């Protein structure tokens, strides 16, 4: 007996997937479809140590999912044995706050919330529709990025605007990447050998999208993303925090429509806007070659992270662990170095040798004299989702 679960993590231009046996945590297959919507997309399917690659035009997520299904049919494992499909779902608003069986009402709610997660919810819905078509006879389950942050206290989730308006439009801070913050913070406590509910920590999820969370004795109390996944850190293509006055200013002075401003801040800002490249590897290379734009982008990126760590350190009254995760956090030793170097005032130090070791395992990179454990922990949103889906279908 096994409980194979298919997990889909749909992004704006990509779909990551894994098939996991939720009884043993064994990864039965995994894959990535990139550059959806571009002329040539890439589908990489991994099974039994073998890799199969397809290059096709994936005009949209529905087409991409159909190709994924074909990959499973051609190279296995069979989708016939799948017991359930889990969907990473970014914005559940104030109605959908925990892992939920998907029905038409749930899809309608996600559609209504699309303006609050314009890069993510439409992709998630397309993933749900495509997978429902391919696997019509199994439960489909939504796992929400926001769920982990349902514990934020009012002083953290409240924006200082009219309470009536906020209530009418469900305007509050929700937080995202919760599946990752949840998984990684549990791994961090385990790594330290401390009970989760006695561990106070800061987790830096630095991927294409990026967010930081503050977790006090196992309870999420603050996070850098807010009403939408735009607030907070500087990201690949997103600005993160800025003066909200800029929006009206751009509208009036630059004649930009609200849609144009939304696109600017979500898709053409961040590292892309500052350095001309959204991928941190490209920015790092350009910076090392002396590119002044890349250097400035890097400095703005690091400063924002350091500012949030300082803020959360004070709000939490000190921490046990500071953890880096996701694409940049797991792989960029230079980002970790430049962040931790600026935390010396808090007694937090780095082991510069351990910091450069590459590994897929959780590891400590703090200096011997560090007041806080500094960790690198690979995230695994799909594994966390598999456990949550299994619990819902049980
Ligand atoms: N070796 C590396 N050095 C620096 N950044 C890296 C490295 N490998 C991956 N990245 C960064 O990780 C990002 C993707 O992170 P990921 O967590 O997969 O994001 P997402 O889930 O949002 O697609 C890439 O855009 C890239 O900038
Ligand atoms: C919510 C979010 O920003 O997700 P991602 O990092 O996958 O874009
Ligand atoms: Mg991600």
What domains appear along the chain, each with residue ranges and CATH number? 4-144 (3.30.420.40), 193-381 (3.30.420.40)
ipTM over the 0.95 cut-off: yes
Taking CB atoms and a 6 Å cutoff, what residues make up the pocket around ligand 2? Answer: 11, 90, 120, 145, 176-177, 207-209, 229
Question: Pocket of ligand 2, candidates 176, 269, 280: which has the most ligand atoms within 8 Å of its Cβ, to mutate?
Answer: 176
145 is catalytic: yes
Q: Euclidean distance between the first and final Cα of the chain, in Å? A: 14
Tell me what percent of the residues of the chain surpass a pLDDT of 70: 100
Tell whether the model's pLDDT for residue 35 goes beyond 90. no
Burial class (CB in 10 A: 0-12, 13-18, 19+), 148: buried
What are residue 56's DSSP bridge partners?
41
Tell whether the model's pLDDT for residue 53 goes beyond 90. yes
| Residue among 23, 94, 145, 197 flagged as catalytic | 145
Hunting for tokens 């949030």 — which residue is that?
308
User: Ligand 1 atom closest to Cα of 11?
Assistant: 23
The number of residues in the chain equals 394
What is this structure's pTM?
A: 0.96
Tell whether the model's pLDDT for residue 1 goes beyond 80. no
Do residues 128 and 107 lie in contact, with contact meaning Cβ atoms separated by under 8 Å? yes
Cα separation, 380 vs 385, in Å, equals 9
Cα separation, 29 vs 49, in Å, equals 9
Q: Reduced to 3 states, what is the DSSP secondary structure of residue 230?
A: coil
Span 153-171, pLDDT tens digits? 999 999 999 999 999 999 9
Span 259-314, pLDDT tens digits? 999 999 999 999 999 999 999 999 999 999 999 999 999 999 999 999 999 999 99
| 3-state DSSP of 352-388 | HHHHHCCCCCCEECECCCCCCEEEECCCCHHHHHHHH
């Amino acid at each position: 007996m096994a409980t194979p679960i298919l997990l889909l993590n749909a992004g704006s231009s990509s779909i990551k997937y894994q098939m996991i046996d939720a009884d043993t945590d064994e990864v039965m297959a995994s894959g990535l479809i990139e550059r959806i919507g571009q002329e040539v997309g890439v589908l990489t399917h991994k099974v039994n140590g073998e890799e199969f690659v397809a290059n096709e035009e994936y005009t949209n997520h529905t087409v991409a999912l159909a190709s994924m299904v074909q990959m499973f049919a051609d190279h296995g494992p069979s989708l016939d044995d799948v017991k359930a499909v889990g969907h990473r779902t970014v914005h559940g608003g104030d109605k959908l706050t925990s892992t939920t069986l998907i029905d038409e009402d749930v899809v309608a709610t996600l559609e209504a919330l699309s303006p609050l997660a314009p890069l993510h919810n439409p992709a998630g819905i397309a993933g749900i529709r495509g997978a429902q078509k391919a696997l019509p006879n199994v439960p489909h389950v939504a796992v929400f990025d926001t769920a982990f942050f349902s514990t934020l206290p009012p002083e953290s989730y409240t924006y200082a605007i009219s309470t009536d308006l906020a209530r009418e439009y469900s305007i509050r801070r929700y937080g995202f990447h919760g599946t990752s913050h949840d998984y990684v913070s549990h791994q961090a406590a385990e790594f330290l050998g401390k009970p989760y509910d006695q561990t106070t920590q800061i987790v830096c999820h630095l991927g294409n999208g990026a967010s930081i969370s503050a977790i006090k004795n196992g309870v999420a109390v603050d996070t850098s993303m807010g009403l939408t996944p735009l607030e907070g850190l500087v990201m690949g293509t997103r600005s993160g925090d800025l003066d909200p006055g800029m929006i009206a200013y751009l509208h009036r002075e630059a004649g930009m429509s609200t849609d144009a401003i939304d696109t600017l801040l979500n898709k053409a800002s961040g590292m892309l806007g500052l350095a001309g490249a959204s991928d941190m590897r490209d920015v790092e290379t350009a910076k090392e070659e002396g590119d002044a734009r890349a250097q400035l982008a890097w400095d703005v990126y690091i400063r924002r992270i350091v500012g949030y760590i300082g803020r959360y350190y004070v709000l939490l009254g000190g921490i046990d662990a500071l953890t880096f995760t996701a694409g940049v956090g797991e792989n960029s030793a230079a980002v970790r170095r430049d962040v931790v170097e600026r935390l010396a005032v808090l007694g937090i130090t780095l082991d510069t040798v351990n910091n450069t070791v590459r590994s897929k395992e959780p590891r400590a990179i703090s200096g011997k004299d560090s007041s806080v454990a500094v960790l690198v922990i690979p995230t695994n949103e799909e594994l966390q989702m598999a456990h949550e889906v299994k619990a819902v279908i049980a």
